[in-house]
Chain A
Amino acid sequence: MSAHDIDHSLDSFGDATASATRVTPGNALRPEDIAIQQEKPTDLVAQYAVRLGDDALILAQRLSHWISRGPELEEDIALGNIALDQLGHARSFLTYAGKAWDKTEDDLAYWREEEDFRSLHIVEQPNGDFGVTIMRQLIISIYQHLLYTELLQSSDPTIAAISAKAVKEVDYHRDHAIAWTLRLGMGTEESARRMRHALAVLWPYVGEIFEDEELHTALGDVAVAPSTLRAAWDEDFASVLSDAGLEVPTVPYAMARGRRGEHSEHLGFILAEMQVLARKHPGATW
C-alpha cells in the first residue's frame, strides 16, 4: 500500500479530514461527520444533546469575547482555544440533536427563541474580570470533565463519541483553570480578594448544574444524572480551593431554571448579538 493509498483510505475518517481549523488527535468526530451519519436520535436523546450543546455554545460565546482583551497575549490564545473547543462540542451535540427534528446546528443556534434554549445560568453569567472568568471555568471544567468521563459509557454511541473527543479537551481546560486559580488565589492580596469575589458572584449558580430532571431517569444509560457527579465535584473543587487558599462561600443559592427555558436576564442579550446577522437574512447561506 503506497502512502497515497493510505491517505486515501483514511479519507472517510474524521482524523484525515480533521476540522479545517485544527487537527484533533484521536478519533476526531466532526459535526460534518455527524450530519451525514444514518442514525437519528430519539426526541428524548435529542433534548439531552441540546442541553449539552447549549451549555457549550453559550460558554463559547462568552469566552470568545476575551480574544484581543486578555491580560497577556498567551491568554488571548488560551481562552480563544478553550472557546473554540467548546464551540466544537456545541456544534457536534447540536448537529446530532437537530437530526431528530430535521434541523441543522445553525437552525438550532440561530433560529430558536430564548425559551427554547436549555443552557445553565452559570454559562450565561457575564465574564466579569479575569478572576470571574477563571472561576467560572474552574466550576464548569471540573463538572464537564466528570460528566464527559461518565458519558464515555453512554449507551448512545454518538453521545459517547462526542464525549470522547470533548473529555480530552476539557482536561486541558481544567488544567488551565486550576493553574490560574492557584496563581490568583496565592498571588497578591488583590488577586485573592478578586477570587473571593468571583466565588461569591458565581456560587449561587452552582446548584443548578447538579439538578436532575425527569429526562435523565427516562434516558437511563444514555445520560448521566447530574446529581451523581456532585460528590466528586465537591471533592475536586474543594481541593483546588484549599490549595489556592480559598473557601467555598456562604451565599444563598439562586433558583436557576435554565433547563426549563427560564433563563437569566443575560441570555437575551447574548442571543440578540449572536443571532442578529443570521436573522437579518432568512434563508441565506454563509
Chain B
Amino acid sequence: MAAQQESGGSLSAVLSPEEQAGQDRFNQIIADDSRIEPRDWMPEAYRKTLTRQMSQHAHSEIIGMQPEANWITRAPSLKRKAILMAKVQDEAGHGLYLYSGTETLGTPRDVLNEQLMTGKAKYSSIFNYPARSWADMGAIGWLVDGAAIANQVPLCRASYGPYGRAMVRICKEESFHQRQGFEILLELANGTQAQKKMAQDAINRFYAPSLMMFGPPDSDSPNSGQSTAWKIKRFSNDELRQRFVGMIAEQVKVLGLTLPDPELRFDAETGTWIHMELDWVEFKAVIAGNGPCNAQRLQRRRDAHNEGAWVREAAAAYAAKMARKTEVA
C-alpha cells in the first residue's frame, strides 16, 4: 500500500577525504540516474530518509491488512473469500520485502516493528478509517490501492536499488488488487438497489482520504525537495494527485456511480483536474493518532506480537539447541 510522501534531513557540513570521495561517487550515481546499492557509501540523511520512507511503507502494508482481514470471514461468496485472502496475504508479502529492503540500510526488522508498536513510526493514515461494509473491499482496492499505485509506479525508478526493485513486484500485485477492487464495485453497481447503495457509500467515504494519501499540497510539503534531488521522489504530491483523480473521474463513469466532489472538473486551460478542498486538519489529526481506528490498529499489532512472544522464544531456543547438536556432531 501507500508510502506516505515525506522526506527530510540535510547533508552534514564537514566530510573526511574518504567521505568526500564517497559523496562524489554518490553524486555521480544520482546524476547518472543509476542505482545506489546497500554497500555503496551514502549520506546519513539519505539513509535516514529512505529508512523512514521504506519502513513507513512496510508498516502501511502490515496495518493495511487489518481492515481487509476484517471481511475475510464474512466474504459473501467463496470465490471472493479466496481472492480477499490472497490479497491480504500479498500485503503481508509486501511488508516482508520492504522490511527486508529496509534492513539493507542497517535497521533490523524488530527495531522497525518496535517503532510501529510504540507509535513512533507512522503508516498510511487511510488505514485508520474503518472498513464498515463489503463494498469497502471494492473501494479500498480501487481507490486506496489505486492511489498507492500512482504513488509507487515512479518509485520503481527510485535511486535506492533494493527499494526500486521491491516496488516493481509490489506494483504488479497492486495493479491486480486494484482491478479486483474495481470488479467488486462493478458487480455491486450492477446488483440490487441495496448493493448499489453500499458501493456508493463506500466511494463516498474513501474518496477524500484516498486523495490525501498523496500527502499535503506542494505548498505545504517542505521536505520534498531533497527527496526529489536524491531521485527517490520523481513527482510532486500534487502532480501525482492530479494524475490519480483524472483516472478515477473516468473510471467511475463505467461504474455508473459518482465521486462525492461537486467541484471536480477538468480545466482545459491549465490542463489540470480541479478537485474540492481537502480537509487537511482532519488529515493531520488522523496522523497524530486521532483517527477512528488508530488505537484499535496498533493494539491489534501489539496483541499479535505479545501473544506470539512465547512462540518466537520457543523457535529461537529450538534453533539454538539444534545448532549445538550440529556442533557436537
Contacts and interface: CB of A to CB of B under 8 A. Distances in A.
A106 interface: yes
Contacts of B75: 277
A191 B313 contact: yes
Interface in A70-84: 70-77, 80-81, 83-84
Contacts of B99: 73
A252 interface: no
Nearest to A81: B89
Contacts of A94: 78
B54 to A, nearest CB: 15
A190 B82 contact: no
A161 interface: no
Contacts of B134: 277, 286
A94 B82 CA distance: 14
B69 A187 contact: no
Contacts, number: 154
A187 B317 contact: yes
Nearest to A94: B78
B116 to A, nearest CB: 12
A281 B77 CA distance: 12
Given A87-B82, A106-B77, A77 B314 contact: no
Nearest to B99: A73
Contact of B192 (A68, A72, A281): A281
Contacts of A75: 308, 311
For chain A, what secondary structure do more than half of its interface residues adopt (helix, strand, loop), or is it mixed? helix
A75 B318 CA distance: 17
Contacts of A71: 304-305, 307-309, 311-312
A106 B96 contact: no
A183 B93 contact: no
Given A84-B89, A184-B314, A286-B77, A70 B304 contact: yes
B307 A182 contact: no
B172 interface: no
B315 A84 contact: no
Contacts of A22: 86
A187 B318 contact: yes
Interface residues of B, number: 51
B275 interface: no
A250 interface: no
Q: Looking at B89, B304, B311, which has the most chain A CB atoms within 10 Å of its CB? A: B311
A105 B310 CA distance: 39
B92 A76 contact: yes
Nearest to B308: A71
A190 B88 contact: no
A80 B314 contact: no
B256 to A, nearest CB: 16
A69 B300 contact: yes
Contacts of B69: 67-68
Contacts of B88: 67-68, 80
Given A68-B65, A73-B96, A87-B81, A182 B86 contact: no
A186 B318 contact: yes
B79 interface: yes
A90 B77 CA distance: 13
A205 interface: no
B73 A21 contact: no
Interface string B56-81: 00000010011001001111111111
A273 interface: yes
Given A73-B95, A281-B76, A190 B313 contact: yes
Given A183-B315, A187-B317, A187-B318, A67 B72 contact: yes
A37 interface: no
Contacts of A9: none
A285 interface: yes
B308 A91 contact: no
A178 interface: no
Contact of B86 (A21, A186, A194, A283): A21
A130 B305 CA distance: 12
A84 B87 CA distance: 11
A110 B74 CA distance: 10
Interface string A254-278: 0000000000000000000110111
A187 B315 contact: yes
A65 interface: yes
B314 A190 contact: yes
Contact of A274 (B74, B85, B188, B309): B74
A105 B72 CA distance: 17
24 contacts: A20-B83, A31-B79, A61-B73, A64-B73, A67-B85, A76-B65, A77-B89, A77-B92, A84-B85, A87-B81, A91-B82, A129-B307, A130-B307, A130-B308, A184-B311, A184-B314, A186-B318, A186-B321, A187-B318, A190-B310, A190-B314, A277-B134, A285-B191, A286-B184
Interface of B: 62, 65-66, 69, 72-83, 85-86, 88-89, 92-93, 95-96, 99, 134, 184, 187-188, 191-192, 194-195, 300, 303-305, 307-319, 321
Interface of A: 19-22, 31, 57, 61, 64-65, 67-77, 80-81, 83-84, 87-88, 90-91, 94, 105-106, 109-110, 129-131, 182-184, 186-188, 190-191, 194, 273-274, 276-278, 281, 283-286
Given A71-B312, A194-B310, A273-B73, 18 more contacts: A22-B86, A65-B72, A67-B92, A70-B304, A71-B305, A71-B311, A72-B311, A91-B79, A106-B77, A182-B318, A184-B314, A186-B318, A187-B314, A190-B313, A191-B317, A274-B74, A286-B80, A286-B184
